[in-house]
A and B are shown apart, each in its own frame.
Chain A
Amino acid sequence: MSIFEYNGSALIAMVGKNCFAIASDRRLGVQLQTIATDFQRIYKIHDKVFLGLSGLGTDAQTLYQRLVFRHKLYQLREERDMKPETFASLVSALLYEKRFGPYFCQPVIAGLGDEDKPFICTMDSIGAKELAKDFVVAGTASESLYGACEAMFKPDMEPEELFEIVSQALLSSVDRDCLSGWGGHVYVVTPTEVRERILKGRMD
């Protein structure tokens, strides 16, 4: 199994009407053995920008710490929060710095930009940005996730419906993957609130 499949992960970010949802599985494993069922993959950078990191767990944690550091410096200098587009460029640059010894992570960035317009993007492990208008996925179950999202996605969904769709897509995809699953973690973000929910999934 490749290094990206060492820990196992599944991530989705999906766009709704003036809102977005970002969801991940909760398993941390060492190849086939499950070590933890409450591993955090989605991090809040600030109220309107969320970062999900799939791939090798240690690289995900280190990369997150570096990004938080850079964002805090930005906040001190500019006296404001980073826009999601800017944050995506920051992640991309940081990943490309390590072009010949990369972080084995695939980030998923989701945020509310100017006028609370939802923004999502994903990157490969060396920083190639991929912007999307509907959904982005990452992780060991990514092929199943693409299929499930493609089938279930509708434009302009309200937050409640978006939550349902994202949860169903995540759970049905990880049920076809040995290396991810064991529950789900979903954040639905609107301009006024952030709702965090834990999903009850198959624990096998």
Chain B
Amino acid sequence: MMKLDFSGLESASSHFHGVDSELVEGLSRAPSFEIPNTTNFDGFQKEAIQMVKPAKGTTTLAFIFKEGVMVAADSRASMGGYISSQSVKKIIEINPYMLGTMAGGAADCQFWHRNLGIKALKKECEIEYINFLTYPMGEEFIGISHMFRCRLHELANRRRISVTGASKLLANILYSYRGMGLVGTVLPYYVDSEGGRLKGNRFSVGSGSPYAYGVLDSGYHYDMSVEEAAELARRAIYQATFRDGASGGVASVYHVGPNGWKKLSGDDVGELYYKYNPITPRMVEQEMAEAAEP
């Protein structure tokens, strides 16, 4: 019977030797999923993915500049043509100094983030074992599992995890989901579920990324002020939501500076359009009312 590879999670238990045995038990019970009883496992997997179609309908971007890092994302979740939500949180707050973005199908990251991440992180060493029926809607699970791993690392080594380390962890987690079309970024790295991990200054991820790159690449220079960078990020997301059908909702912009991240703005894209393209009243050819005025 096949099991998905969770050795990444298991290794945490070795750090807690000698601590409360109850705790160790909870950690060493390796999570596993039931595998469907079918002759053609690969074909079945492929069909299941196609059914859900994680079309990566989204736009997220992040770039490094003089004053730190700017991260922005839209907030639409779509399933094929249907919009399932206009208010999904796609920027994951890993710790007060690190943000990650997610691109994927209709995953309500916000719910799980609230339910697990905050609950678990507040209780220092108490980690709840939660059974997920996630496949293949695994984005939120990955986000939380990644957050756990970063936090565990922090507790074990009494030092915040480095960005290189966090991105490597995420890459390894995503590798188990190879071929399922998941992508993420932990700046300054770009990570995807084909196993790719690239280093760079600016990245955009999702179906709206070509449009965002157009604005981002042409307006970018390293020594921008925070306001200029925020406006660039906002404009890039707005442009992507205009052109791409699968992006929309609210354009959130975060700034990561030396003292941690701060959410700068969350603008409804519907209103941004009319701000950038104000409607001027058109010239009317025949105005009978005016002619009647003395």
Contacts and interface: CB of A to CB of B under 8 A. Distances in A.
Interface of A: 1, 5, 8, 29, 31-34, 140, 175-179, 200-204
Contact of A204 (B81, B82, B207, B248): B248
For the complex of A and B, the 6 pairs showing the least CB-CB separation, nearest first, are A204-B248, A202-B270, A178-B245, A203-B273, A204-B241, A32-B245
A32 B242 contact: no
B interface residue count range (under 10 / 10 to 19 / 20 to 34 / 35 or more): 20 to 34
Nearest to A8: B245
Interface of B: 57, 74, 76, 78, 80-83, 86, 207, 241-249, 269-270, 273-274, 279
B242 A34 contact: yes
Nearest to A202: B270
Best-buried of B83, B241, B243, B247 by chain A (most CB within 10 Å): B83
Contacts of A203: 242, 269-270, 273
A177 B254 CA distance: 28
The secondary-structure label for the interface of chain B is: loop
Contact of A140 (B81, B241, B246, B247): B81
Contact of B279 (A31, A176, A178, A200): A200
B242 A204 contact: yes
A5 B83 CA distance: 14
B242 A178 contact: no
B274 A200 contact: yes
B207 to A, nearest CB: 6
Contacts of B279: 200
Given A1-B80, A176-B82, A177-B83, A32 B241 contact: no
Contacts of A178: 57, 76, 78, 81-83, 245-246, 248
A32 B244 contact: yes
Contacts of B249: 204
B57 A204 contact: no
A33 B76 CA distance: 15
Contact of B246 (A5, A32, A176, A202): A32
Contacts of B86: 175
A140 B245 CA distance: 13
Nearest to A201: B270
Contacts of A1: 80-81
Contact of A5 (B78, B81, B270, B273): B81
Given A200-B279, A202-B248, A202-B270, A32 B207 contact: yes
